[in-house]
Amino acid sequence: MDYLMILVGLLLLLLGANYLVDASVAIAKRLHISDFVIGLTIVGFGTSAPELFVSVSSALRGMGDVAIGNVIGSNICNSLLILGVTAIVCPVLVRGRSLRVDVMTAIALSVLVCAICYFNVVVSGGPMQINRVAGLLLLAILGVYLFKSVKSGRSAEAEEPAPMGRLAKLPIAVLALMAVASLAVLLYGGDMFVDSSVSIARKLGMSDFVISTTIIAVGTSLPELITCVIAAFKKNTQLALGNVVGSNIFNILFILGASATVYPLTVVGVCWVDFAVFIGSMCMVAVSARTFKAQYVDRREGVIMFALYVVYVAYLVMR
């Protein structure tokens, strides 16, 4: 039954991602907003719902390590595994604004989270912590960032018009309903896939630690992974890039912000290596856009990203 549920979950992931991509692109064109910004906001934030649920519920239980570890692990997975696999399928174009503003914003926010965590250590010698004040600060930054992204996204779409897509003639209310329904199917399929995979892993004798650092970490990022791969097959790499960058920014600003506001997060199990990979994985995106094929994360860089993620997971298991 578990193996059957894995297949059903994967099918739901594929169907949900396919229609989510098509509906999101159509909405972008109808509202005259760029594909990148739609990926950055609607798709990026929507596919981060599993991380939001895990982190907030962990915060309510006083499990700060799980809440921040989930965000760090998901962002590393997004930047290395998901963008790497997407680039292998189809090279990802990194335009000037997305690199100059959005990717650099994600890097700056990653550094900010590390600084917040270590602030309590330096000042009082206590454990790493993200308190309510820091949580509210992150939420405030999110509001400003969203406003500026949507505003700039309209001018970007006007400068670089793209094909309308096969769903563009549908009423926008229908497109919005289709996007929400596709997202629900996507998230439900991901949940089914993770639950069945964990059940099989436990029957095979894998420890909870190995399960949490591999299956759960990748599993909560499955919606982003499938959505990006489907978008890459449809040659819409801007939506895929926006999904990855948007998910990373949403994870930091909203998930950590909301979790810390609900209950201050005390961090014990995360070490400096995790923070280094957390920041470095996003820096890798910026570096990739400047090397080999300029303005692209190409297939070679995709393979390198994928290999780095495998090395990091192997390190986690050994640690």
pLDDT at 174: 84
Q: Three-state SS for 269? A: coil
pLDDT at 91: 87
Place of tokens 């994870």: 251
User: Over pLDDT 70: what percentage of the chain?
Assistant: 75
pLDDT at 215: 66
308 close to 80: Cβ distance less than 8 angstroms: yes
pLDDT at 136: 95
Residues whose CB falls within 8 Å of the CB of residue 114, separated by 6 or more in sequence, listed in order: 275, 278, 279
201 close to 211: Cβ distance less than 8 angstroms: yes
Integer Cα distance of 312 and 191 in angstroms: 24
pLDDT at 213: 55
What is the pTM for the complete model shown?
0.77
pLDDT at 190: 65
pLDDT at 158: 45
Q: Which residues of the chain have a pLDDT value below 70?
A: 6, 10, 13-14, 17-18, 21, 35-36, 39-47, 49-51, 53-54, 57-58, 64-65, 96-99, 152-168, 190, 193-194, 197-198, 201, 206-220, 294
Q: Three-state SS for 67? A: helix
Integer Cα distance of 310 and 307 in angstroms: 5
pLDDT at 141: 94
- One-letter-per-residue 3-state SS of 33-60: CCHHHHHHHHHHHHCCHHHHHHHHHHHH
Beta bridge partners of 265: 130
State the pairing for strand pair 92-93/296-297: antiparallel
pLDDT at 255: 87
Q: Three-state SS for 218? A: helix
Residues whose CB falls within 8 Å of the CB of residue 57, separated by 6 or more in sequence, listed in order: none
pLDDT tens digits along 101-125: 888 899 999 999 999 988 877 877 7
Integer Cα distance of 311 and 305 in angstroms: 10
pLDDT at 145: 86
